[in-house]
Amino acid sequence: MLSTVRAGTRRGISGLGNHIGRATRRSSVGGQSQFRSSSSEAVAPAVHFSAAPDTVPIPEKPQRITISEIKERRARAGRLVAPTAAPSDADMFKGSTTGKPKAKRWDHHLTHESTLRAPCKLKQAARHLKQPGIISLGGGLPCPEYFPISSLSLHIPIPPNFSESDTLSGGGGETVTIGKYDAASTNQPAAEYDLSIALNYGQATGSAQLTRFVTEHVELALGAPPYADWGVCLTPGSTAALEQTLRMLCDGVGRRDTLLTEEFAFSTALETAAPLGVGVVGVPMDGEGILPREMERILAEWKPEERGGRRRPHVLYTVPSGQNPTGATQGVERRREVYEVARRWDVIIMEDEPYYYLQMGQPGEQQKASRGVEEFLEGLIPSYLSMDVDGRVVRMDSFSKVVVPGSRLGWITASAQLVERFVRHAEVANQGPSGFSQVILHKLLDERWGHEGYLRWLMHLSEEYTRRRDVMVAACSEFLPKEVVSWNPPRAGMFHWLKVRHELHPDATSKSILEIEEEIFNRCIAKGVLVARGAWFRADQDKPPSGLYFRTTFAAATPDNMREAIRRLGEAIRESFHL
Amino acid sequence: MLSTVRAGTRRGISGLGNHIGRATRRSSVGGQSQFRSSSSEAVAPAVHFSAAPDTVPIPEKPQRITISEIKERRARAGRLVAPTAAPSDADMFKGSTTGKPKAKRWDHHLTHESTLRAPCKLKQAARHLKQPGIISLGGGLPCPEYFPISSLSLHIPIPPNFSESDTLSGGGGETVTIGKYDAASTNQPAAEYDLSIALNYGQATGSAQLTRFVTEHVELALGAPPYADWGVCLTPGSTAALEQTLRMLCDGVGRRDTLLTEEFAFSTALETAAPLGVGVVGVPMDGEGILPREMERILAEWKPEERGGRRRPHVLYTVPSGQNPTGATQGVERRREVYEVARRWDVIIMEDEPYYYLQMGQPGEQQKASRGVEEFLEGLIPSYLSMDVDGRVVRMDSFSKVVVPGSRLGWITASAQLVERFVRHAEVANQGPSGFSQVILHKLLDERWGHEGYLRWLMHLSEEYTRRRDVMVAACSEFLPKEVVSWNPPRAGMFHWLKVRHELHPDATSKSILEIEEEIFNRCIAKGVLVARGAWFRADQDKPPSGLYFRTTFAAATPDNMREAIRRLGEAIRESFHL
């Protein structure tokens, strides 16, 4: 039942590996869950808030496992045998969950669309393929004989020497090769993945091979959630994960949902929600992101009749670390408070964390030169996942900012119930991420670097971005007029958010904030610097803006160009303000 | 405006190539198009059918260009300079459209959701980057310095020797390398694409480099549509394209659309439509697929009040070549007739053609050994695209069946208006296909094989599948009881459809067709062969089935296993029928 083995192909693998064999299956929610008619909820939104709040305490700190525990676990499990389109899930690879409670049920959060999803008939039939000797004339999977690529090689750095120039010159780094039939080759007993598997059709969850890596990575770097039945699903990037999760949780028609998010929010998230008819309400922020008391206030004071009939929000979308666009990072206490508000009001948290590993100290703060990976992990602000006693967090991870955006590869971590609904959608939305991306990242991260090498890479990246952040903050101090521009040095990510005191502008009484913002933006363009306008990120596009902001990034330009660009921005602001 | 050039990065390309420079832009439909309230349409569906049918004749044959024309065109255009995230579209690469009419407007076909889509604010801002010397602090694109892969090599066959064993042995084929900065390297003046571009963020349309290849391929292999403003958009495979197109054209709520499709249809298409609330109606078929007179009848006799208030269908989803599951291939006359019905009733045609190039002769028919690519193309049944005088066809192509499924890469070809709406969705649904997939397929198909090599590969594949089809048809003749099983040898694709005369079954009066089908299916499993049940593919799941069918595939099993599998199937049927 667990492994799709196609008899009669050249690979001819018919055994089931330890991992695949010892998996426990989650029961599918597909058949049972009921779509709850929601027209009544729109006017009487308090139904599922009336239960007494649970009192299970949030764990003090993340329960991380160690790299040596992962090594022991893999040694015990033996070689992973997962041939073409083998089903897999996190349960096959994660540590013991004995004694942990199960996640709550979230049926009342699911959209009509999500509830209607049924498993793919052809993929279900694959369960018959576990029968020894069966020949499949069932699924239309091409024979790998017809894949016109017989091997793929990558030149990559060897940790801890991540210098691009060393690797490019050919003197450093190593070349590693992925063959077509490595996993079946007697010459390569350790090989568990190859082109014949990765380049054929797979499961919408992604491959077992990469699922193992990300499951272990979650337990190692974030700590397993404090409930038992969590799972993962690989995605074609967090853009896809965001849209799929929204369609799973937010109905634009029928019950007419509204999404809570930061007052200034990732513009793509806003552009994803709008065509679905999903409303968006921005939660006021400070330097640490959304304010729990403001989130509480919005929920407590929500009146559908004042909100065009929309029911009280039940989903929060947040970027806790290095938020886009404000660069704000929620500290651990802030996250706990937000989580408690979410519990009280039965809110699902969509935790979008592309910049999580790009956490930084204060500018000028010296990083210990000989930091170990344990120290690095201990220094990370805990993920909502690690506090998630209810199973109400859907965390989105992505390799875009920390490996390459072009991989279009990431994953979600959430309760098994939500992952199952998500997978049903992935089967018809995209069939999971590219096999090229999966097999290349598996070779790099799992086979060559391993967890330790990957963590060292993340440390390296966070140091690089810290250096860039420091250049930008120093340039701002040097070139921006402090009497009208202020900022908090970002503690994570790629973005620096500048607040401009519009009320001091000579035209403050005759021009709107948007007009002043546009005037400064155009001056910037004329002077040769492109910045992002704060207005592009306003969650409530209909409300007048509360302030004048610009977003800059320290991700892309060289240090010299960054300084020059900030100098031009400073000139533009000074001229506009007649300073 | 046309090229996103990020200043300050190591690549530092600031020029615009000929191609990018000579593009003409389509105007966006975003701002103008109006969502037409459709509740009225549900009860008065004839509004846009009342106009006199157009009389523009369907062209006699496809207007294909030649490989030498493509070469001349490229030589005239010069080197393609398309750096990171450079916008592109088919207009930059296609031949002259002088004298051709424009496509009709399809605003009335768009869903509410699709109509509401607005362009991505951050991507719009990139237009400022054309300004010389501008430094971008705008978009959060990582610096390619932090991409930990400095080169990628592939071992691939050299046309026309496509033998896997030759290429695998290392004696045949060639190894080609994609560097990180090839396109900027003075050592490689011909290089137009590299890892620094492909692995960064790109446009949701896919890269300019691969857009050029597929645009030319459409004109070369299918013939350009007979209207001027057609376009293409790369997709992460046709699974994604299908869901995106459905969401663009079919409203499950509001106007409550119904999709026309084959009586037996690709089950994933049915599973995509159902959760959206989109109805499905199957059009009766013969050995050549959907019957135009039946399609006409359904449309002419449609009464919303007899269809639960659903309005008359305005979209047809069809797999014209090697249809899944029936293997039926529509001949040219059939396609013309279907197109004329679509014109009369204002129906958009979603043409899903994964098996298009796997067209075959009759079993036993000898293929000329020295066929040229021109002959191969002349022998292909024309695509709906080549007849599409109105611009009402959305064709979906995929590399899954003809290169590798794991590429998760394909493209759509359609009128610029529909492509523009599709791209707006792709921006938030997936941001286009994987960069690894794009750069690898570009290296293989464009740089190494070229159009001629790729066509030779397609010829090779169609010959291989013909050989496999012949093995299967011969096995069926040998092992299946002809008194109860019949079939048409498929003329394309991977699937063989078997009709079983259930009325001759000993339990025909006491058991339903579905019960007999299940009994035979279970006997098959017990005997060690997995086939697909006809019932899984019924478009109208609520209606009683009209016959008893099984689908087999000749794609995957070895010839010996195929024969053995059909022998087992024959035994199962004989036993069930007491023969």
| Stated length of chain B | 579
pLDDT score for B54: 66
Q: B58 vs chain A: nearest CA distance in angstroms?
A: 34
pLDDT score for A1: 30
Report whether A272 contacts A242 (CB < 8 A). Answer: yes
- Closest residue, chain B, to A172 (C-alpha): B150
pLDDT score for A3: 34
**Mean pLDDT of all residues belonging to chain B:** 90
Asked if residue B45 has pLDDT above 50, the reply is no
- Closest residue, chain B, to A558 (C-alpha): B8
If contacts are CB pairs under 8 Å, which of residues 521-550 in chain A contact chain B? 525, 528-532, 536
Asked if residue A15 has pLDDT above 60, the reply is no
pLDDT digits (tens, 9 = 90+) for A187-209: 888 899 999 999 999 999 999 99
Lowest-pLDDT range of A532-541, B32-41, B225-234:
B32-41
The four Cα atoms B83, B86, B91, B95 give a dihedral, to 10 degrees, of: 10
pLDDT digits (tens, 9 = 90+) for B421-437: 999 999 999 999 999 99
For chain A, residues classed under CATH 3.90.1150.10 are 461-576
Residue A310, CB half-sphere, CA atoms under 13 Å: how many? Answer: 22
pLDDT digits (tens, 9 = 90+) for A133-171: 999 999 889 999 999 999 999 999 999 999 999 998 868
Asked if residue B32 has pLDDT above 70, the reply is no
pLDDT score for B120: 86
Place of tokens 């013309």: B336
Minimum-distance CB partner of A530 among B134, B151, B153: B134
pLDDT score for B122: 82
pLDDT digits (tens, 9 = 90+) for A319-332: 999 999 999 999 99
- Closest residue, chain B, to A202 (C-alpha): B406
pLDDT score for A54: 66
Phi/psi of residue B485, each to 5°?
A: -120, 135
Local structure of residue A359 (DSSP, 8 states): B
Tell me, yes or no, if B518 comes closer than 8 A to chain A by beta carbon: no
pLDDT band at B369 (very low <50, low <70, confident <90, very high): low
B201 with A406: Cβ contact below 8 A: yes
pLDDT digits (tens, 9 = 90+) for A489-537: 999 999 999 999 999 999 999 999 999 999 999 999 999 999 999 999 9
- Closest residue, chain A, to B243 (C-alpha): A429
Q: How many helices (H) and strands (E) does chain A have?
A: 18, 17
Which parts of B127-254 are beta strand (E)? Answer: 135-136, 151-156, 174-179, 230-235
Report whether B246 contacts B504 (CB < 8 A). Answer: no
If contacts are CB pairs under 8 Å, which of residues 324-343 in chain A contact chain B? 324
Lowest-pLDDT range of A497-501, B97-101, B187-191:
B187-191
**Mean pLDDT of all residues belonging to chain A:** 90
pLDDT digits (tens, 9 = 90+) for B516-532: 999 999 999 999 999 99
* DSSP β-bridge partners for residue B286: B289
pLDDT score for A367: 67
H or E element, residue B553: strand B548-553
pLDDT digits (tens, 9 = 90+) for A457-477: 999 999 999 999 999 999 999
For chain A, residues classed under CATH 3.40.640.10 are 1-460
Local structure of residue B208 (DSSP, 8 states): H
- Closest residue, chain A, to B403 (C-alpha): A147
The type of residue at A425 is: H
The pair of structure tokens assigned to B50 is: 């009342």
Class of domain A461-576: alpha beta
Rounded Cα gap, residues B142 and A407, in angstroms: 13
H or E element, residue A295: helix A292-300
pLDDT score for B210: 98
CA torsion sign for B239, B240, B241, B245 is: positive
Tell me, yes or no, if A135 comes closer than 8 A to chain B by beta carbon: yes
Q: How many CB pairs under 8 A join A and B?
A: 398
pLDDT digits (tens, 9 = 90+) for A359-371: 998 887 776 667 8
pLDDT digits (tens, 9 = 90+) for B55-83: 789 999 999 999 999 999 999 999 999 99
pLDDT score for B124: 82
> In A383-392, which positions are buried (b, 16+ CB within 10 angstroms) versus exposed (e)?
bbbbbbbbbb
**SS3 of B443-462:** HHHHHHHHHHHHHHHHHHHH
The pair of structure tokens assigned to A436 is: 């090229």
Asked if residue A45 has pLDDT above 80, the reply is no
pLDDT score for A120: 86
A557 with B272: Cβ contact below 8 A: no
The pair of structure tokens assigned to B110 is: 């768009």
Mean pLDDT (whole number) for B541-554: 92
Q: CATH fold of B465-577, please? A: Aspartate Aminotransferase, domain 1 (3.90.1150)
> How many CB atoms within 10 Å of residue B337?
18
The four Cα atoms A240, A246, A248, A254 give a dihedral, to 10 degrees, of: -140
**Do the strands B348-352 and B315-318 form a parallel or antiparallel pair, or are they unpaired?**
parallel
pLDDT band at A34 (very low <50, low <70, confident <90, very high): very low
Tell me, yes or no, if A387 comes closer than 8 A to chain B by beta carbon: no
pLDDT score for B85: 92
Alpha carbon of residue B459 to chain centroid: 18
B428 with A8: Cβ contact below 8 A: no
Q: Is the peptide bond before B160 cis (omega within 30 degrees of 0)?
A: yes
Contacts of B528 in chain A (CB under 8 A): 131, 133-135
pLDDT band at B37 (very low <50, low <70, confident <90, very high): very low
**Do the strands A485-486 and A495-500 form a parallel or antiparallel pair, or are they unpaired?**
antiparallel
pLDDT digits (tens, 9 = 90+) for B457-513: 999 999 999 999 999 999 999 999 999 999 999 999 999 999 999 999 999 999 999
Class of domain A1-460: alpha beta
pLDDT digits (tens, 9 = 90+) for A440-458: 999 999 999 999 999 999 9
B168 with A162: Cβ contact below 8 A: no
If contacts are CB pairs under 8 Å, which of residues 209-248 in chain A contact chain B? 236-237, 239-240, 242-243
Tell me, yes or no, if A121 comes closer than 8 A to chain B by beta carbon: yes
Which residues contact residue A292 at a Cβ distance below 8 angstroms, ignoring those fewer than 6 apart?
A: A334, A337, A338, A340, A341
pLDDT score for B362: 86
> How many CB atoms within 10 Å of residue B425?
23
pLDDT band at A4 (very low <50, low <70, confident <90, very high): very low
Minimum-distance CB partner of A428 among B239, B405, B494: B239
Asked if residue A569 has pLDDT above 50, the reply is yes
Q: B185: closest CA among B21, B13, B441?
A: B13
Phi/psi of residue A452, each to 5°?
A: -65, -45
- Closest residue, chain A, to B429 (C-alpha): A240
Contacts of A114 in chain B (CB under 8 A): 275
Rounded Cα gap, residues B252 and B246, in angstroms: 10
Q: A499: closest CA among A453, A446, A548?
A: A548
Mean pLDDT (whole number) for B318-347: 98
pLDDT score for B367: 67
